């Protein structure tokens, strides 16, 4: 049993629930509703800029926004972040009351409000060092409009490794297998 990410880090799927044994996508109607909803949502999210970058630069300076690398929260009220701003979300979630919004529709607005007020993770909070993790190597979400051949996945061997090394300053209890920082 292995957990895998698709498109962005953060949301995790049980590999056998979304892929057949020979590495093709399962048909959507064989998936759990939650998996299907997240995979479909990921198709939109992989093209989005980081929420925090967007709050800083806005539409008029969109080219300065970094690409989203990780997603937290529930579909439609999720937060997507670049590697740099992930630390701000983790800090907000674990130290600044964000945990109150776990599983709630208000999570996105609450984080955006906190960040937009100028709040940031302190320098000493540290970050997560994603050794051996190459987001570019995550498989793309399946496209329900494509013909069946396009469901075949060629990047299966390049999926996110299980091991993630935390740097010394990171909180001991961060668990990347969760949808939220712990």
50 binds Zn ion per the rule CB under 5 A? yes
Instruction: In whole angstroms, give the CA distance from residue 90 to residue 162.
Output: 20
Q: Indicate the residue whose CB is closest to Zn ion.
A: 50
The CA R_g of the chain, rounded to the nearest whole Å, is 16
Question: Mask 122-151, x = binds Zn ion (CB under 5 A)?
Answer: ------------------------------
90 binds Zn ion per the rule CB under 5 A? no
68 binds Zn ion per the rule CB under 5 A? no
3-class secondary-structure state, position 138: coil
Write down the least CB distance from residue 164 to Zn ion, Å. Answer: 20
* Element counts in the chain: helices (H) and strands (E): 5, 4
CA atoms within 13 A on the CB side of 50: 23
80 binds Zn ion per the rule CB under 5 A? no
53 binds Zn ion per the rule CB under 5 A? yes
Supply the DSSP symbol for 128: -
82 binds Zn ion per the rule CB under 5 A? yes
Out of 38, 41, 85, 130, name the contact with Zn ion by CB under 5 A: 85
3-class secondary-structure state, position 126: coil
Residues that bind Zn ion (CB under 5 A): 50, 52-53, 66, 82, 85
């Amino acid at each position: 049993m292995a957990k895998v990410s698709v498109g962005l880090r953060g949301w995790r799927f049980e590999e056998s629930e979304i892929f057949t044994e020979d590495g093709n996508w399962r048909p959507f109607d064989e998936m759990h509703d939650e998996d299907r909803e997240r995979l479909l949502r990921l198709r939109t999210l992989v093209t989005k800029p980081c929420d925090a970058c967007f709050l800083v630069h806005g539409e008029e300076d969109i080219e300065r926004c970094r690409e989203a690398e990780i997603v937290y929260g529930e579909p439609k009220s999720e937060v997507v972040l670049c590697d740099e701003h992930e630390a701000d979300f983790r800090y907000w979630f674990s130290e600044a009351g964000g945990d109150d919004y776990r599983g709630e529709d208000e999570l996105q607005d609450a984080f955006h409000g906190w960040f937009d007020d100028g709040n940031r993770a302190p320098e000493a909070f540290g970050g997560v060092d994603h050794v051996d993790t190459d987001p570019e190597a995550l498989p793309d979400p399946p496209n329900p409009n494509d013909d069946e051949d396009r469901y075949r996945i060629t990047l299966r061997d390049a999926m996110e490794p299980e091991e993630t090394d935390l740097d010394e300053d990171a909180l001991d209890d961060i668990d990347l297998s969760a949808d939220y920082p712990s």
